[in-house]
Amino acid sequence: MRASRFFISTLKEAPSDAEIVSHQLMMRAGMIKRLGSGIYTYMPMGLRIIRKVEAIIREEMNKAAAIELLMPLVQPAELWQETGRWDKMGPELMRVKDRHGRDFAIQPTSEEVITDVVRSEIKSYRQLPLNFYHIQTKFRDERRPRFGLMRGREFTMKDAYSFDRDLAGLQASYKVMFDAYVAIFTRFGLKFRAVAADNGAIGGTGSHEFHVIASTGEDAIVYCETSDYAANMEAAEALPLAATRPAAAQALTKTSTPDATKCEAVAELLKLDLARTVKTIALTVETETDGKVAKQYFMLLLRGDHELNEVKVGKVPGLAAHRFSTEAEILEVYGCVPGYLGPIGTKAPVTVVADRTVANMADFVCGANDAGFHYTGANWGRDMAEPTLVADLRNVVAGDASPDGKGVLAIERGIEVGHVFQLGTAYSESMKATFLDENGKPAPLQMGCYGIGVTRILGAAIEQNFDDKGIIWPTSLAPFELVLCPMGMDRSEAVKEATEKLYADAQAAGIDVILDDRGLRPGGMFADWELIGVPHRVVIGDRGLKEGNLEYQGRRDTEATAVPVADIVSFIQGKMAA
Amino acid sequence: MRASRFFISTLKEAPSDAEIVSHQLMMRAGMIKRLGSGIYTYMPMGLRIIRKVEAIIREEMNKAAAIELLMPLVQPAELWQETGRWDKMGPELMRVKDRHGRDFAIQPTSEEVITDVVRSEIKSYRQLPLNFYHIQTKFRDERRPRFGLMRGREFTMKDAYSFDRDLAGLQASYKVMFDAYVAIFTRFGLKFRAVAADNGAIGGTGSHEFHVIASTGEDAIVYCETSDYAANMEAAEALPLAATRPAAAQALTKTSTPDATKCEAVAELLKLDLARTVKTIALTVETETDGKVAKQYFMLLLRGDHELNEVKVGKVPGLAAHRFSTEAEILEVYGCVPGYLGPIGTKAPVTVVADRTVANMADFVCGANDAGFHYTGANWGRDMAEPTLVADLRNVVAGDASPDGKGVLAIERGIEVGHVFQLGTAYSESMKATFLDENGKPAPLQMGCYGIGVTRILGAAIEQNFDDKGIIWPTSLAPFELVLCPMGMDRSEAVKEATEKLYADAQAAGIDVILDDRGLRPGGMFADWELIGVPHRVVIGDRGLKEGNLEYQGRRDTEATAVPVADIVSFIQGKMAA
């Protein structure tokens, strides 16, 4: 490509609404252009990167025997009503009526449509397994679109759906997709981590997220440096910090703690380690039977320095649909204002649920169920009944033991760009998508779904790879792999000739090269390409040519390297393969 | 590709709602699957064809220096309001509200968005010319979607938009696009014709349609076999059938023609050639001034055997906004019921507009403005005033003189698949898209727009190329170029070996080959591939192999050709190039 035949538009300053670096740099590099909130035109420079992402995904999906098709954007409401998602999904689901007043959804994903396709096409177990995917525009009417392509409303996603005859088949298909994702993200040239994820409300039997590692990432991801354990914060299991409970050593003492409704304040007041305190969280669960609402109350106990993990709470038996108790409920049930609750004296109908670590604590500090007072030296069994339930209720912290027993946990930040998910039969049962098994009996299809946020990859790649000059693309994603910057092509015949020859040679070698023939001054030209992030650059100038050299500089290099004209293509190829 | 890793699903019968052959065959060949009215999933077999169409378009657009980007599907209403299309477009424009109640359109085309992009990017004439295109999903909420991909609601279109500094620039850009379209349709391997088109309501200065020739086509296209004149029916100019008017030879005679309100009935009653009669069409034009509506009346005269061309009528001075007169208006203005109107005795305020052919007729038959009576032997000048206006009002018919004077016109049927259009400054003026010219003065951008109906190409190609067995794809559009049909790969080691070798050799030669390893019987296998329309087939069987041969058969061949194993790849390449 010659720059004069392409469209290059860079900005010195990012628009003020671009809050994060990837959004700022994509706007400045002329890769995207805002059309509306969370809606962007992919400008020629940005589209080239998207196409490279798509091509890598497509190649690896095809290698994994997934079959590409294309499902419509505008999908009839009837299918979404079959699975209940028409009602369950909030305003993120963009709804539209046609001229006849019929309801449609603009697809955020395509589980319903693919299940509809498959239920009419698949009759027999002999046709299985199958895996269909498409790379298609999606729309989610986000409440607060932001961060450019990271949280847009209109975006591009690859979504794949596998269909198997049984759980073993699903697990095999899932493994194939997991491995394909590893291949895809490896080819992207990005540092990434696959982490076990919670299955969430959607149900199913297994799930992993793929995160691009970046210090600016929204998500905390947990991993063990000495094993392959990795999970997101919701799913990372916290083991008890002590294997057994120490014996009681202190007497139970009721202590005045005025205005100390938080563990931090209590610890400071009593000059104790925060890790000696226990905090109390009061929850209510409402159940309706024959139109009558009954309430159940739960007291959760967490070590003072630990954070509640709400996903884990939802998995405690009886707590799937919980909420925080209101102040009125707390006063009624515990006879005490919030901030001073504790397990001592608390009895039925309240269910006491202790975090695993709390269950093994001795001589701890907790609220006295009396405004302005805490107990010190509290001990299970002696001062109160053993907890009704013991469960993992907290977020892990760095240094916790890895649940696989093979080391300690570390935490880093990531940006979720992929998700693989064992759906099981949730969709196939609600949509009656069955096949005839070997005995001629109908059975529901076992489904998996597998997504990659195509446009989000761009944002994540930049968050991981940039400096104060601009973006630094991995070679596989760069809009151009190589830029040629001639110094005065219009003045020097030698420069012109060497430039055209290298341009032709690079193309012949299969290098995606752009020749900057815009006639800019060196400073402006270099600034543009450093901002855009082309990973390999060659400068062609009279001074170097006199010595038979061209100047190569990698985007992360601090200095240029003189390379003999005859060696330049193989030199670049070596750098590209590195 | 191995068929066992692909998804092939053929049907013996087409669904009953498939009215035309391309729709029937695409459904039977498993290329598309209906999701809703005018909304289809592109199944793997269909998507491969779409991708080939897109690749050819993309290559030729890039060669023509057009630059690819991607504009959003969901577009803010504000831009559409700037050009007035938000109100002007009917319910075909799919409108949607987001969670905040803001209005958006789902794009049917992207003139507004590209003009918005360009007005913020282009400052100076030095940045021109520019041509941007995208290949993107479109939505038009058609009143009556039908014919599969031919008139769908969701479809794929390539739309390009050129921007120039002046009309000469626009015309040059237009020519480049016209030539690119010729290259594209030639590479598709389809019989096509570019025809001059009417500019329609959108305005502008020039326009051509590209039609795929098919006897089932919706549109009549007009061309001269001995010159390069070609136009669609709306735009094809009709010259007067006689260069000069003959002298009057008959006396004017009022004749009783009871119940003969149509020229055909009059001709039959009077035993005259229909070409001797003249029919009358009464039109009304309403104009509003200061809230008061005034009406003007026009009498159009056409030879009895000719058809009115409403587009041409709209171009007659004063007739841009006409309608047919009501019966009440006719009674009031002409004092006569419809069916017996004529020019004799008709005077102001009625404007008489004669078709060019009628203006040069003598001794003709026309209504007498008296119920139940016609005149014979009517002559201009002698029996009535000369017509106020003479204009081209009719559709041409086969055998008419070509307007370029180089032969006679023929008519064939076509399917419109492309349109190139000189928009001029219609959009740039309403959206204030200007640039600074050489004198530093702002001037509106001259725009052109250029569309190709990507998914429609599939339907049109099939309407042109099918037989009773199925589709016959041109090699360039076929989902696979070559299919290998082994006879008993599982039984014969020789067949297996020869098949695998040819499969590898064909891939190495860059042929898009599918190996049918499904283990079907020959009849079912051949029927599938004939239905799907793969243009080249090789059968590998023990019988042929004993003699060192494979059996090649082109999709249009009636018999197979024995080809020595060693020659087969070059033989196929020869057939593919043919």
Strand arrangement, sheet containing A513-515: A513-515, A482-486, A536-540, A549-554, A561-564
Judged against a pLDDT cut of 80, whether residue B276 lies above it is answered with yes
**Integer angstrom CA distances of residue B197 from B63, B176, B223, B225, B455:** 26, 18, 12, 18, 22
Tokens of B426: 């219609």
* Regions of chain A where pLDDT drops below 70: 199-205
Asked if B36 and A113 come within 8 Å (Cβ–Cβ), the reply is: no
- CA dist A181 and A421 (Å) reads 12
Residues A211, A267 within the same domain: no
Residues A94, A190 within the same domain: yes
Chain B residues close to A163, C-beta within 8 Å: none
Judged against a pLDDT cut of 80, whether residue B202 lies above it is answered with no
CA distance A429 to chain B (A): 20
Number of domains in chain A: 3
Tokens of A422: 């064992």
Judged against a pLDDT cut of 50, whether residue B117 lies above it is answered with yes
Asked if B73 and A43 come within 8 Å (Cβ–Cβ), the reply is: no
Q: Give residue-wise pLDDT tens across range B552-573.
A: 999 999 999 999 999 999 999 9
Length of chain B: 578
Predicted confidence at residue A205, as pLDDT, reads 59
Residue-by-residue DSSP string for A306-360: --B-HHHHHHSTT-TTEEEPPHHHHHHHHSS-TTS--STT--TTEEEEEEHHHHT
- CA dist B396 and B386 (Å) reads 24
Question: Hey, of B35, B40, B176, which one would you mutate to test binding to chain A, going by the most A CBs within 10 A of its CB?
Answer: B35
- CA dist A214 and A414 (Å) reads 5
Asked if A72 and B40 come within 8 Å (Cβ–Cβ), the reply is: yes
Residue B107 lies in a domain: yes
Residue A232 lies in a domain: yes
Residues B435, B486 within the same domain: no
- CA dist B238 and A138 (Å) reads 50
Q: Give residue-wise pLDDT tens across range A302-340.
A: 999 999 999 999 999 999 889 999 999 999 999 999 999
Residue among A451, A448, A412, A424 nearest A181 (CA): A451
Residues B345, B272 within the same domain: yes
Question: Hey, of B42, B70, B95, B161, which one would you mutate to test binding to chain A, going by the most A CBs within 10 A of its CB?
Answer: B70
Give the one of B7, B41, B72 whose C-beta lies nearest to A72's C-beta: B41
**Integer angstrom CA distances of residue B454 from A41, A68, A278, B162, B326:** 21, 18, 66, 19, 43
Q: What is the CATH number of the domain that holds A176?
A: 3.30.930.10
Residue among A86, A120, A89 nearest A103 (CA): A86
Residue A4 lies in a domain: no
Chain A residues close to B33, C-beta within 8 Å: 117, 120
Predicted confidence at residue A352, as pLDDT, reads 96
Predicted confidence at residue A17, as pLDDT, reads 86
DSSP character for B91? T
Residues A492, A378 within the same domain: no
- CA dist A170 and B295 (Å) reads 74
Residue B65: phi and psi, rounded to 5, are 70, 20
Q: What is the CATH number of the domain that holds B489?
A: 3.40.50.800
Q: What is the CATH number of the domain that holds B376?
A: 3.90.960.10
- CA dist A240 and A246 (Å) reads 13
Q: Give residue-wise pLDDT tens across range A424-445.
A: 999 999 999 999 999 999 999 9
Q: Give residue-wise pLDDT tens across range B504-553.
A: 999 999 999 999 999 999 999 999 999 999 999 999 999 999 999 999 99
- A284 Cβ contact list (under 8 Å, min separation 6): A295, A296, A297, A298, A322, A323, A324, A325, A326, A329
Q: How many CB pairs under 8 A join A and B?
A: 130
Residues B457, B492 within the same domain: no
Residue B503 lies in a domain: yes
Asked if A74 and B153 come within 8 Å (Cβ–Cβ), the reply is: yes
Residue A469 lies in a domain: no
Give the number of other CB atoms < 10 A from CB of residue A86.
17
**Integer angstrom CA distances of residue B356 from A81, A244, B150, B240, B302:** 61, 107, 37, 5, 9
Tokens of A528: 């543009």
Buried b (16+ CB within 10 A) or exposed e, A412-429: bbbbbbbbbbbbbbebbe
Output the furthest CA–CA distance in chain A (Å, rounded). Answer: 94
Predicted confidence at residue A198, as pLDDT, reads 76
Predicted confidence at residue A203, as pLDDT, reads 47
Residues B430, B546 within the same domain: no
Q: Give residue-wise pLDDT tens across range B421-459.
A: 999 999 999 999 999 999 999 999 999 999 999 999 999
- B480 Cβ contact list (under 8 Å, min separation 6): B1, B48, B512, B513, B514, B534
Predicted confidence at residue B291, as pLDDT, reads 87
Give the number of other CB atoms < 10 A from CB of residue A225.
11
Asked if B70 and A41 come within 8 Å (Cβ–Cβ), the reply is: yes
- Which of A358, A391, A424 delimits the end of a domain? A391
Q: Specify whether the backbone of B549 is left (phi greater than 0), alpha (psi in -120 to 50) or beta.
A: beta
Percent of chain B exceeding pLDDT 90 equals: 93
Chain A residues close to B94, C-beta within 8 Å: 74, 96, 98
**Integer angstrom CA distances of residue A27 from A154, A470, B114, B207:** 17, 11, 17, 36
Tokens of B471: 């589709």
Residues B94, B180 within the same domain: yes
Tokens of A505: 């040679």
Contact present, A376 and A270 (Cβ < 8 Å): yes
Q: Which residue is closest to A68 within chain B, CA to CA?
A: B44
Predicted confidence at residue A200, as pLDDT, reads 57
Q: Give mean pLDDT, residues B164-176.
A: 96
Asked if A91 and B71 come within 8 Å (Cβ–Cβ), the reply is: no
Give the one of B44, B121, B141 whose C-beta lies nearest to A68's C-beta: B44
Predicted confidence at residue B203, as pLDDT, reads 47
Q: Give mean pLDDT, residues B12-20.
A: 90
Chain B residues close to A74, C-beta within 8 Å: 36, 39, 94, 106, 139, 153-154
Residue A262 lies in a domain: yes
Predicted confidence at residue B206, as pLDDT, reads 87
Predicted confidence at residue B199, as pLDDT, reads 67
Question: Would strands B409-424 and B206-213 be described as parallel, antiparallel, or unpaired?
Answer: antiparallel
Percent of chain B exceeding pLDDT 70 equals: 99
Query: Domain limits at A217?
Result: 14-237+411-462
Residues B60, B116 within the same domain: yes
Q: What is the mean pLDDT of chain B?
A: 95
Q: What is the SS3 assignment for B31?
A: coil
Q: Which residue is closest to B79 within chain A, CA to CA?
A: A35
- CA dist A232 and A176 (Å) reads 21
- Which of B462, B489, B511 delimits the end of a domain? B462
> Please, which pLDDT band fits residue B167 given cuts at 50, 70 and 90?
very high
- Burial group, residue A439, by CB count within 10 angstroms (0-12, 13-18, 19+): exposed
- CA dist A379 and A365 (Å) reads 9
Chain A residues close to B115, C-beta within 8 Å: none
Predicted confidence at residue B205, as pLDDT, reads 59
Chain B residues close to A35, C-beta within 8 Å: 71-72, 75-76, 113, 116
Helical H segments across A44-89, by residue range: 44-63, 77-82, 85-88
- Which of B373, B391, B409 delimits the end of a domain? B391
Predicted confidence at residue B200, as pLDDT, reads 57
Residue B223 lies in a domain: no
Give the one of A42, A106, A143 whose C-beta lies nearest to B69's C-beta: A42
Q: Give mean pLDDT, residues B246-269.
A: 95
- A100 Cβ contact list (under 8 Å, min separation 6): none
Q: Give residue-wise pLDDT tens across range B27-84.
A: 999 999 999 999 999 999 999 999 999 999 999 999 999 999 999 999 999 999 999 9
Give the number of other CB atoms < 10 A from CB of residue B482.
26
Contact present, B281 and B308 (Cβ < 8 Å): yes
Q: Give mean pLDDT, residues B395-421.
A: 95
Length of chain A: 578
Q: Give mean pLDDT, residues B271-293.
A: 94
Predicted confidence at residue B201, as pLDDT, reads 47
Asked if A5 and B65 come within 8 Å (Cβ–Cβ), the reply is: yes
Assembly ipTM: 0.91
Residues B337, B384 within the same domain: yes
Residue A404 lies in a domain: no
Residues B308, B181 within the same domain: no
Residue B243: phi and psi, rounded to 5, are -70, -35
CA B464 to chain centre: 14
DSSP character for B335? S
Residues B313, B366 within the same domain: yes
The pTM assigned to this predicted structure is: 0.91
Tokens of A344: 């001592």
